[in-house]
């Protein structure tokens, strides 16, 4: 790689897949470390976005639009998941304000 | 040029993701999540998934994050989490080990299969619509044809899923309010 003939490399799907892997790892660490249930949900959204990025990268690599359709379904499922999860969190935090994920280890109301 | 876009959007994505994990205030975490989602939308545009980029901004940044912020404000839990408190002392080193292991595993798999021609270039068919046609809105047409022909049953099932989710959330919060009214009396 000589400095004179250096041209900017175009991003390949491998770059996007690696970025998706790193984003997924950050989301995983967030889910394992954070204790606020709302922030846990945000980290799950990060992981879903990492998967979406990989889907789109492979969809472009394979020249096949099925991957983008899968991203569409992931978006719908993420929306439903957030609605139900936030409903549960609202009903939990109304009853016990300020509780973290560690306080919710038992199912007793 | 593509490299510049990639680097900038990647900086947005990674910075926002680190913000979500590391910021102690839930509102700041939600706004960092917006940064990440916009970065992912830029990546979608760079990969010619224009419709998904628009949906990403509308659904994620416009609906889901607003829902997060709404719940934060509704519950009044916008207090700073003390990140110093660590109830399980081994939790964070273990989480770091698990995260690094997962990332290393996936990157190893990606890099080792990069050179393989493991992806067969299948012939175009009803299940394999080419994504790149010359028209300006070819992406939307391809996606619509694929969604409403090949995956039409999955599409209908997602509508059932959405109805169930909305009904379940309404039931959850209503029952909670009724017991809440009973409690003081």
> Distance between CA B74 and CA B40 in Å, rounded?
28
Q: What is residue B173's predicted lDDT score, i.e. its pLDDT?
A: 81
CA distance B162 to chain A (A): 6
Residues B43 and B77 sit within 8 Å (Cβ to Cβ)? no
Residue A88 contacts B where some CB pair is shorter than 8 Å: yes
In a domain, A26, yes or no: no
In a domain, A30, yes or no: no
In a domain, A5, yes or no: no
Chain A partners within 8 Å of B56 (Cβ): 52, 75
* B7 token code pair: 């680097």
The ipTM is: 0.86
Q: What is residue B126's predicted lDDT score, i.e. its pLDDT?
A: 47
In a domain, A8, yes or no: no
pLDDT at B185 over 50: no
Q: What is residue B62's predicted lDDT score, i.e. its pLDDT?
A: 86
Residues B26 and B81 sit within 8 Å (Cβ to Cβ)? yes
pLDDT digits (tens, 9 = 90+) for A29-87: 999 988 888 889 999 999 999 999 999 999 888 888 888 999 999 999 999 999 998 88
Give the CATH number of domain B1-83.
Answer: 1.20.120.1200
pLDDT digits (tens, 9 = 90+) for B60-78: 888 899 989 988 888 776 6
> Distance between CA A40 and CA B20 in Å, rounded?
9
Furthest CA-CA distance within chain B: 70
Total of domains in chain A: 1
In terms of residue numbers, what domain contains A83? 35-101
In a domain, A81, yes or no: yes
Predicted model pTM: 0.83
Residues 22-41 of B with CB under 8 A from A: 26, 29-30, 33, 36-37, 40
Q: What percent of chain B has pLDDT over 90?
A: 36
């Amino acid at each position: 790689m000589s400095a004179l003939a250096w041209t900017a490399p175009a991003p390949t799907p491998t770059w996007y897949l690696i970025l998706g892997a790193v984003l997924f790892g950050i989301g995983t660490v967030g889910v394992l470390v954070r204790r606020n249930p709302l922030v846990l949900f945000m980290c799950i959204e990060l992981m879903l976005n990492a998967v979406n990025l990989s889907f789109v990268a492979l969809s472009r690599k394979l020249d096949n639009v099925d991957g983008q359709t899968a991203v569409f379904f992931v978006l719908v499922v993420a929306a439903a998941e957030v609605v139900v999860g936030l409903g549960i969190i609202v009903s939990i935090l109304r009853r016990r304000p300020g509780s973290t994920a560690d306080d919710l280890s038992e199912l007793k109301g | 040029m593509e490299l510049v876009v990639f680097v900038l959007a990647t900086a947005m994505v990674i910075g926002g993701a680190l913000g979500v994990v590391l910021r102690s205030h839930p509102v700041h975490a939600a706004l960092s999540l917006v940064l990440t989602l916009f970065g992912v939308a830029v990546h979608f545009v760079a990969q010619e998934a224009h419709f998904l980029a628009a949906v990403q901004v509308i659904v994620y940044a416009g609906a889901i994050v607003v829902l997060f912020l709404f719940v934060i404000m509704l519950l009044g839990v916008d207090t700073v989490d003390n990140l110093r408190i660590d109830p399980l002392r081994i939790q964070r080193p273990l989480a770091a080990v698990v995260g690094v292991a997962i990332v290393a595993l996936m990157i190893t798999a990606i890099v080792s299969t990069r050179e393989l021609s493991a992806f067969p270039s299948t012939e175009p068919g009803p299940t394999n619509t080419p994504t790149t046609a010359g028209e300006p809105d070819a992406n939307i047409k391809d996606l619509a044809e694929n969604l409403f022909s090949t995956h039409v049953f999955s599409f209908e099932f997602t509508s059932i899923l959405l109805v169930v989710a909305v009904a379940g959330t309404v039931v959850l919060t209503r029952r909670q309010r009724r017991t809440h009214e009973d409690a003081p009396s």
